[in-house]
Amino acid sequence: MLDGISVLDLSVFGPGARCARALADYGAHVVKLGAPGGPQPEFYAYGGGRGMTRIELDLKAEEGKQEFLRLAAEFDVVIESFRPGVVDRLGIGYETVRALNERIVYCSTTGYGQSGPRSQWAGHDIDYLAVGGFLHCSGRDADGVPALPGATVADVAAGGMHAAMSILAALVSGEGAYLDVAVADGVLWMQSLYVDEYLATGVVPGPGHNVLTGRYACYGVYRCRDGGAVAVGAIEPQFFANLCRALGLDEWATKQYEDAAQPELRARLSATLAARDRDEWVAELAAADCCFAPVLTIQEVVDDDQFAARGAFVTAAHPDRGEFVQVGPVLAGGVHE
C-alpha cells in the first residue's frame, strides 16, 4: 500500500524503529542510516532484514552530513530520534532539509517532545508509562507497587504507532510537515478514558476503580490447577451468563456488577477454575462464547495454531546473518505472501 514511498530512518531503538518497521511492512522503501560500527539491534528486535536496507553514515563528518542531505532531498520521509536540538546542531534539521525538499515529512520521535520542562530528560518505556498514568491504573504486586507491563507498550503503541499514523496523515495531505511525536503524549492519549473521566467527575481512577482495572470478578486473571492461568474478559452480561453456565455457577450471573458480591464471586471463580488444568478449561470453554482465553508463554505463542493460521511468523534474511524467523507484518487479510 505504500509502494513508492521512501523513508530515511535515523533511529536505532524505540518508537522510531518501530515506526519504520511498520512503514516497511506496508510497502515503503526504508533505508536505515547508522553510524559506522554502530549498534544494529533492529535486525532482531524490530524485524529488520526484510524490506529494509542499511547504510553506514557518519553524520558528525561533513561528508556524511552532505550525503544525508543529498538523500533527504529525494526521499519522502525522515525519521529521527535524537534528543531535541541535536539534529540542528548536526546541520540536518527540518528547516535545512525543507530548503532542499519542500514536500519532506520530517518526524522527530522523543520521549517527552521538543518542548516542555521534561524535553531533555532521558527515559525508557517504563518512564513514559509512569508519567502518562498507565502504571497508576495497572495492577499491583504484593507490596502494592504497580506491576511491570509485559511489553514495551509505550514504545510500540504510544510512540511507534503514533508516529506512523502521523506520517501517513502528512503523506495523505500531500504537503510537507514537521512532526513532533512524544511517547509520553501517546501514553496520555491511551489513558484518555480515565483522564477524561477525571476531568468530568473529579474522581481519580486507579486500580480497582472500574471493570477494566479490577473492580469486578468478571474481568481478571485466574490460576488453574497446573499452575497455568486463564484470562476472563466477560464484561457484557450475556458473556458472563455464558461463563457462569459453563462453570456451573448460574446463580451468580445476576450478581456480575453487585459490589458487595464481588469478594465471594471472585472466590467462587478462583476455586472453580483452580480445580482443573488450564488446557482442560480451554478445551471445554472454547465454544462457550464467554470471552475466555489461556495465558500463553512466548514459546506457546510461537507454536499457537491461531497465529500459524494468520501467517504471523516469517523468515527474513540478512547478508551477514543469514536467515532467521521473526514476527511478521500485521497486515489486514491474514496470511502474508
Catalytic machinery residues: 124, 155
Distance CA 198, CA 88 (A): 39
Query: How far is CA 165 from its chain centroid?
Result: 13
The span from the CA of 263 to the CA of 265, in Å, is 6
Torsion of CA 309, 332, 9, 191, to 10 degrees: -100
Report the SS3 class of residue 2.
coil
- Residue ranges in the chain assigned as alpha helix (H): 14-25, 42-45, 62-72, 86-90, 94-100, 125-131, 153, 161-173, 183-190, 192-201, 237-247, 262-273, 278-285, 298-302, 305-309
Using the Cα atoms of residue 180, residue 184, residue 187 and residue 193 in order, give the sign of their dihedral: negative
- The cell numbers describing 65, all together, are 552530513
Closest CA to 58 of 34, 25, 91, 31: 34
